[in-house]
Amino acid sequence: MTTPRISLKERERLLRAAGIDPHRIPEHVAIIMDGNGRWAKRRGEARVFGHAHGVESVRNVVEAALECGVRVVTLYAFSTENWNRPKEEVDALMDLLVKTLVDEAVELGSKGVRLRAIGDLTSLPQACQEELERAKKGPEGEVLLDVVLALSYSAKWEMVEAIRQIMREGLSPEQVLPSTIDKHLQTADLPDPELMIRTSGEHRISNFMLWQLAYAEFHFTSVLWPDFRKKHFMDAIRDFQHRERRFGALPNPNHGR
């Protein structure tokens, strides 16, 4: 499955035809991929079967993000808490990650996708760390999309790390501003997500980008992650475009007119 690079004009035409405003695309979309275990259970399979099928959903999201012109997609692939799952599941997830990175790296590069990761990466198996290091070099040409994998990640872990670093630098309390925190998070060079999608019907944030999602719009869908396709991503973008983003200000009397 490849996306031919299309002109800006053609992209705008396609997006408008799909009911999407090409000038109000979120720059950064963060996704909690949930429901793999339930999807597998419904088929009488082990949980890892669901994780393996979830890779096709990741491919769909990458395609959809490229088509829309989204610049960053962050995927919550493995939380700090996920280490507490049975060893076989954790090992299978790590193997799947390495296999996916190896299998997809060239194709992703040819599409202008750069891969990177956030989280406590030193806790990942060596093979995984090496593949992530290789992948982050990115494409030869222009980077169209950054795909950020949150691995061994939790927002509380990230914030504690940031605070420790700020303290090591010896800043006085008065010197610590919101921008200081921004700069010390793992996402320092990324824009905050404007849209957060969670699949599987759960309405929780589960220790994911707590700081960065302060003003994001949330889109919840009952679709289980392995069933999530391009059309579901487009639905989320359309939903986002119907929201009035106020950032604490008063309602805009012209919204929706």
Residue type, 180: T
Rounded CA gap, 151 and 121, in Å? 7
The reply on whether position 124 binds ligand FPP by CB under 6 A is: no
**Is the Cβ of residue 126 or residue 179 nearer to ligand FPP in the bound state?**
126
For the record, the structure tokens of 66 come out as 């490229």
Pick out residues in 148-177 that bind ligand FPP (CB under 6 A).
149
The reply on whether position 100 binds ligand FPP by CB under 6 A is: yes
Q: How far is the CB of 99 from ligand FPP (least distance, A)?
A: 8
Span from 51-59, 62-70, 119-127, 240-248 in contact with ligand FPP (CB under 6 A): 51-59
Span from 28-36, 105-113, 115-123, 209-217 in contact with ligand FPP (CB under 6 A): 28-36
For the record, the structure tokens of 14 come out as 């396609």
Q: Which of 54, 69, 109, 119 binds ligand FPP (CB under 6 A)?
A: 54
Q: How far is the CB of 57 from ligand FPP (least distance, A)?
A: 7
Q: What is the dihedral of CA 81, 161, 214, 124, to 10 degrees?
A: -40
Rounded CA gap, 9 and 18, in Å? 14
Q: Which of 68, 75, 128, 216 binds ligand FPP (CB under 6 A)?
A: 75
Q: Which residues belong to the active site?
A: 34, 82
Q: Name residue 196's beta-bridge partners.
A: 30, 218
The reply on whether position 109 binds ligand FPP by CB under 6 A is: no
Rounded CA gap, 89 and 236, in Å? 30
Which residues of the shown chain bind ligand FPP in the complex (CB under 6 A)? 33-38, 47, 51, 54-55, 58, 75, 77, 82, 96-97, 100, 149, 200, 225
